[in-house]
Structure 1
């Protein structure tokens, strides 16, 4: 059976390729850890992909900012219909429509039992934590494809209770695999609650999801900062205040909005490709957002950091940053007794509750992030447009089910 997919073809390039139809075993291929080759996946299911999104984390690899090998099949944001079940699967059935957390987790190790599914101990031979189609994450094949294998299915997948209802809201539900829980995790990590004032650095899809989440959690004012006016307009469209950091330090603009230069809660939705503020906006400065958040978050406040930071960045401007070492003003955070919440979002901690918020019309995440479905073969154009900074979240639709 045929299976088309999107693969990384070198810095700045992705391409549509013919790849193998999944089987219940992990095979050798670009990025697959040698210790995982031959790993049996009788506990898995094969999905017909309904929606699989382009993520900013994918863009880090495509820009050549990681050690991702060419030929790696991309994609960790997956929603699909079960078409085959492995021998050991008990509760998931053919025909189920499911959301797949981008974290791959076994459900058996200490961290999974403690709901820290972003750092599962059993799925990546190199380090805790794994994901589909991502560099150094164990080599599980990505989901930007017509069909994809999902391991530990009884544990991992979130079944939608009513298939017809789910298809009516499929663009919203497609955000449950990553960006909505990730943004929500950033807001929770930042301590957002009723009446909080919140600053979100970054108006890309995760930043917009974090801002949406802050509103859902009861924030009184949500301020979003970015360099991109189209993305700032997207944030204003659902009630956020905005700060253009190309005009200078966000602190002054925050004071104009709130009457004080500090917020209760700070969220970093930018990560390691951060740029400077004001006149330095054209220059990459990876610690900019973290230092800024420590400055503008009140003493005793928390910083939620869903933005990606890496241990290996060959494209960084200096040797320290190439190893993930940043010039942070950590002493400032210490002096202000800040709490830092970092790491992959444990999607399973949030996705069920957010699913019900969507199904019961409490939130419209797809509208807020401007979710835009495109055909699988249009992925190279989607990657290029997303990299240019358009205010869209591209949703690949391999079988035309979303657009229908």
Structure 2
């Protein structure tokens, strides 16, 4: 396998995350052994891959095998902050409109809403205990200019509500350096591990075969289909879906090389806060939140009183670099929530989000490769867009009307000078720090 980061980033042990600590470990999916056949083989047992597999079996009656390098939820689907929210692209609203026009921009906005509704309907319909808080999301402006930008964005989301700087305290959104907020009424927080493992359970009950500890080492055409080779077996399938996102191998398929960039996102979770501690900081809102910095911070209160804080940081997974990333994450947390400086971190971990060279997701067929499809590139918001993208990929593979928005159906470009992507990322972080300005002190 050809991957961009150091080996520790792909350690097959479960990360020491709050999600893994708080969710019972299910029985492992068995490894593939020997030869098997399927109508469709899916590479990756995360939100996109499992959603596609479930859709193919339940809606189209296909025989589906899912191949996972470790176990369902081991990658980003079990490591993220649990924001089922709008997103999926790093392009601005104006950038999306320039690329696909006003109608295409509206289609992508509708896709984001449909994605959130789809996840909510799935977990409620299958009794998955994953919801963790009220609906909606708050975007906190890190500068007066950023608040002006939020004011301009408010018109694009029905029901959005602007919160002026003087109103933040009354909304339980106090914090140094917050200059107002925009609150949208869509999205909800969830327990990401409970969701992905519930999704895997429902998919298996429907007839999906999931093989864990079965990394795909080789993918090649065979007859009118494809052959996938793992350490102990092989699958021959008519069609294949690559749904590996930030944990992709650059040579599976070779077309993917240079088109994606895994980006580390790190999270810490505190011990439970007391009510007095929450009041002392003045940040008591249970609505999930993020700021407007280029180097995004995202945070929310968990149902058990703990507080989750995450940020994009770091361009290396080497142990020394990861220690610095953890230190920096704690520093940012204390700068933004100074009343909680003495509150201990209980767990901290990291995982990959996935950017593409086009800064937009892709759901479609791999060019010049009949029967090979991809669904990836969720840009740090994969809970809803990734889940729904997997279902649309399934419909496309089955020959049904998929309704994939134009922004998602265009194959991603390669990054300029792809061999130097991580160097470019480090430089981009430096530039973002300059744009964002210093943190409050």
TM range (shorter): under 0.3
Q: TM-score w.r.t. structure 2 length?
A: 0.26
Query: Highest relative contact order (Cα 8 Å, sep 6+), 1 or 2?
Result: 2
Query: Structure 1 or 2: larger helix share?
Result: 2
